Structure 1
Amino acid sequence: MSLINTEIKPFNATAYHNGKFVPVSNETLKGKWSVFVFYPADFTFVCPTELGDLAEQYPEFQKLGVEIYSVSTDTHFAHKAWHDTSDTISKITYPMLADPTLALSRNFEVLIEEEGLALRGTFVINPEGKIKVIEVHDNGIGRDAKELLRKVQAAQYVAAHPNEVCPAKWTPGAHTLTPSLDLIGKI
């Protein structure tokens, strides 16, 4: 069964955010768009390239009212140590969630049980706490923050215009589609 349109399960976690340890829960997410970006581990190879890319695009997500949460099975202490020692990770200003109990990774179905690590899973969550976008990669394949931003924009557009859909490669301002009998076979 897909997690699309399901409500996220209750959780409590600790994040390293702007020099502090802060609590984050499912209640923290209510009322705003959120993106969870799971990655295997701190102090690795592909992960800092992705998280750095997100850090560069973070202001664009914030303009849309979206909070980014990176998530790994490391502790919040490890997140701080990585933030303090990596030039790339030091640029992160979004919350870095710790999942040492593996509960979040299990809830979002990205846990590699035998390794205790998460797959590269991306989840866009609407203000009601429902998952609207899921993307899961093998851990050797990095993601693109600009494409994620486009998907968030499409999810927000469809939420605001429930009778319209966004075609492939849709970007803000581009033509959308209004499903109808007249449209069948015309595309």
Structure 2
Amino acid sequence: MMSRILGVSEQFPKFSIPAVVSLEHGKEFAEISNETMKGRWSVFFFWPMDFTFVCPTEIAEFNKFYKQFLDRDTDLYGVSTDTKYVHLAWRQHHEDLKNLQFPMLADNTKNLSEELGILHPTDKVPFRATYIVDPEGVVRWVSVNDLSVGRNVKEVLRTLDALQTDELCPCNWEKGQATIK
């Protein structure tokens, strides 16, 4: 039985999770928590597990658009239930992951994934869930894909843009287009 997925308008759970933040010896790890994201927009994207095939394509794509998230005053966090040591090994050995600009959170206790309700009922790994969280820690958008289907990073950016207008945005709205007054 799967738990209920945390949804829009709910408070993002309290957490404190180790993360890989660098490949520089002695500076590889940091603790990321609600305090880290306080007062800023945040995007959390979860993947099932390291050393797989679809996951690095998504991680690399988020990294490719990293500056665009920063331009929107938004922090980006990648998360799986692997340990920080597995994340570090994957980053060190996968060419597309060596220059990541955002933290890879290690939810190996699965506490955050469980609180969000995004663990696959039998495989016990996270679905490909994406959360946009506002500066007050409130979930403003959730998208969850099955394990086998990668997500669209441009759609995450488009939705973030729409949320940040704080106005009514029509179907297929993109940044620069008129909102509904």
Question: What TM-score do you get using the length of structure 2 for normalisation?
Answer: 0.92
* TM alignment of 1:101-120, pairs within 5 A: 101-120=109-128
Matched residue, 1:167:
170
Amino acid at match of 1:48: P
Separation in 2, partners of 1:145, 1:113: 26
Verify: 1:65 aligned to 2:73, yes or no: yes
Which runs of 4 or more aligned residues in structure 1 lie more than 4 Å from their structure 2 counterparts after TM superposition?
none
Letter in 2 for 1:136: V
Match of 1:117, SS? coil
Per-residue deviation, 1:29: 1.2
Q: Equivalents in 1 of 2:72, 2:122: separation in Å?
A: 37
Tell me how far 1:114 sits from its aligned partner.
2.6
2:24 aligned with 1:17: no
- The aligned counterpart of 1:30 is 38
Give 1:45's aligned amino acid.
Answer: F
Shift of 1:91: 2.7
Q: 1 CA distance for matches of 2:133 and 2:143?
A: 12
- AA partner of residue 122 (structure 1): T
> What's the secondary structure of 1:94's corresponding residue?
coil
Structure 2: gaps spanning 5 or more residues? none
Provide the secondary structure at the position in 2 that maps to 1:36: strand
Does 2:152 align with 1:144?
Answer: yes
More contact order relative to length (CA 8 Å, sep ≥ 6): 2
Distance, in Å, in 1 between the alignment partners of 2:39 and 2:113 is 23
Measured after TM superposition, the shift of residue 50 of structure 1 is 0.5
SS at match of 1:118: coil
State the alpha-carbon separation in 2 of the partners of residues 93 and 107 from structure 1.
Answer: 26
**Equivalent residues of 2:7, 2:141 under 8 A apart:** no
User: Contact 1:52–1:91 at 8 Å: present in 2 too?
Assistant: no
Instruction: Note if 1:74 corresponds to 2:78.
Output: no
* TM-score (normalizing by structure 1): 0.89
RMSD of the TM alignment (CA)? Answer: 1.2
Report the 3-state secondary structure (helix = DSSP H, G, I; strand = E; otherwise coil) of the residue aligned with 1:111.
coil
- Contact preservation (8 Å) 1:73, 1:116: no
Instruction: Name the larger-Rg structure.
Output: 1
Unaligned runs of 5+ in 1: 159-163, 179-187
CA contact (8 A) 1:74 1:98 kept: yes
Aligned amino acid, residue 133 of structure 1: W
- Give deviations 1:60-87, integer Å, cap 9, x for gaps: 1111111110100000111100000001
For the residue of structure 1 that corresponds to 2:98, the secondary structure is helix
- The CA distance in 2 between the partners of 1:136 and 1:34, in whole Å, is 17
Contact 1:83 1:90 (8 Å CA) reproduced: yes
Q: Which moved more, 1:28-37 or 1:105-114?
A: 105-114
Superposed displacement of residue 153, structure 1: 0.8
CA distance in 2, matches of 1:75, 1:167: 41
